[in-house]
């Protein structure tokens, strides 16, 4: 039975992977968060890999506080860059395939058409820079990797835009939301499904000894695009909440970290190679 190690398992994506694991019962899973496996501790990771010997490691562990990272630079790089490096080194030693999650924030947002995997990153925040550094470590250390960049992740767990909007609506009658940043929401359950689909296909490719070089970087989000304002509007519509929602420009909502003004991800590569069907963001929000 193939073994899967999930790091950062108490986060949004980690929890969603646990939620769907009964649909993929052909695997033995181990879910660990920082208490059990700190990805900043290379010795601890090596010991863990020595004992468990995973076939796949899904790294969902990350420093995700985008604004806080502007001050907490060292911590962001420790987790997002060095943590990724540590995992890549252990994966290399134990012949483990690493599935690492990255972000649309590696891009500067200057494009006006969806970002392809071949577009060169140019992060404009510490968080984005730390995630890009992590990607580069993995690319240089470990041939057997999948880096999956995603965007605007939400789930029933942790903190995310959907939960924030619903919480604010409990006490406010009016809300102002930015309408000039364009991207695509991603239901973390859809991302979890996509990851497990890729792992299953990977095993199939290997069994058939198909010589395609399918390792590398992929983009995954839901289909379509919207502004944060459009996203908020849909969240309230879907939940039958009446609220006075006002569109505002980014300049009226200053944050410590700069965000890309446009970060829609092109999913042609992942859909072509892995035969994935990607749900529209509005459709997926309804099932949330």
Residues that bind ligand NAP (CB under 6 A): 7-8, 10-13, 33-34, 38-40, 60-64, 79, 83, 101, 103, 131, 150-153, 158
Three-state DSSP class for residue 31: strand
* Rounded distance between C-alpha atoms, residue 287 and residue 173, angstroms: 25
**Nearer to ligand NAP among residue 103 and residue 179 (C-beta):** 103
* Rounded distance between C-alpha atoms, residue 238 and residue 185, angstroms: 15
Three-state DSSP class for residue 179: coil
**Nearer to ligand NAP among residue 244 and residue 270 (C-beta):** 270
Structural contact between residues 221 and 151, judged by C-beta atoms closer than 8 angstroms: yes
Structural contact between residues 12 and 153, judged by C-beta atoms closer than 8 angstroms: yes
Q: Is 253 annotated as catalytic? A: no
**Nearer to ligand NAP among residue 8 and residue 202 (C-beta):** 8
Taking the complex as a whole, the smallest distance from the CB of residue 220 to ligand NAP amounts, in Å, to 10
Strands (E) in the chain, as ranges, are 2-7, 27-32, 56-59, 97-103, 145-150, 153-154, 174-178, 182-183, 186-187, 216-219, 226-227, 244-248
Taking the complex as a whole, the smallest distance from the CB of residue 72 to ligand NAP amounts, in Å, to 11
Residue nearest to ligand NAP (CB): 11
CB contact set of 209 (below 8 Å; sequence gap of 6+): none
Q: What is the distance of C-alpha 279 from the center of its chain? A: 16
**Nearer to ligand NAP among residue 11 and residue 54 (C-beta):** 11
Taking the complex as a whole, the smallest distance from the CB of residue 208 to ligand NAP amounts, in Å, to 30
Taking the complex as a whole, the smallest distance from the CB of residue 15 to ligand NAP amounts, in Å, to 8
**Nearer to ligand NAP among residue 10 and residue 141 (C-beta):** 10
Strands (E) in 60-214, as ranges, are 97-103, 145-150, 153-154, 174-178, 182-183, 186-187
The residue from 31, 63, 127, 262 that is catalytic is 127
Taking the complex as a whole, the smallest distance from the CB of residue 209 to ligand NAP amounts, in Å, to 32
Positions marked catalytic:
127
């Amino acid at each position: 039975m193939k073994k899967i190690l999930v790091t950062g398992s108490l986060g949004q994506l980690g929890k969603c992977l646990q939620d769907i694991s009964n649909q993929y019962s052909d695997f033995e899973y181990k879910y660990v968060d920082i208490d059990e496996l700190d990805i900043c501790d290379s010795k601890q990771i090596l010991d863990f890999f020595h004992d468990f010997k995973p076939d796949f490691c899904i790294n969902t562990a990350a420093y995700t506080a985008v604004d806080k990272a502007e001050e907490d630079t060292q911590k962001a790089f420790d987790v997002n860059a060095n943590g990724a490096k540590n995992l890549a080194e252990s994966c290399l030693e134990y012949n483990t395939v690493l599935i690492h999650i990255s972000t649309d924030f590696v891009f500067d947002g200057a494009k006006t058409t969806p970002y392809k995997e071949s577009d060169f990153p140019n992060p404009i925040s510490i968080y984005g820079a730390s995630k890009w550094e992590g990607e580069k470590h993995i690319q240089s250390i470990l041939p057997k990797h999948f880096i999956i960049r995603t965007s605007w992740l939400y789930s029933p767990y942790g903190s995310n835009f959907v939960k924030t909007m619903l919480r604010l609506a409990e006490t406010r009658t009016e809300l102002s939301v930015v309408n000039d940043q364009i991207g695509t929401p991603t239901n973390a359950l859809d991302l979890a499904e996509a990851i497990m689909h890729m792992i299953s296909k990977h095993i199939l490719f290997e069994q058939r000894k198909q010589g395609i070089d399918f390792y590398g970087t992929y983009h995954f989000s839901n289909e379509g695009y919207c502004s944060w304002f459009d996203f908020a509007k849909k969240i309230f519509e879907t939940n039958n909440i009446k609220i006075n929602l006002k569109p505002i420009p980014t300049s009226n909502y200053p944050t410590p970290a700069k965000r890309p003004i446009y970060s829609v991800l092109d999913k042609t590569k992942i859909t072509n190679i892995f035969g994935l069907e990607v749900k529209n963001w509005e459709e997926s929000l309804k099932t949330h």
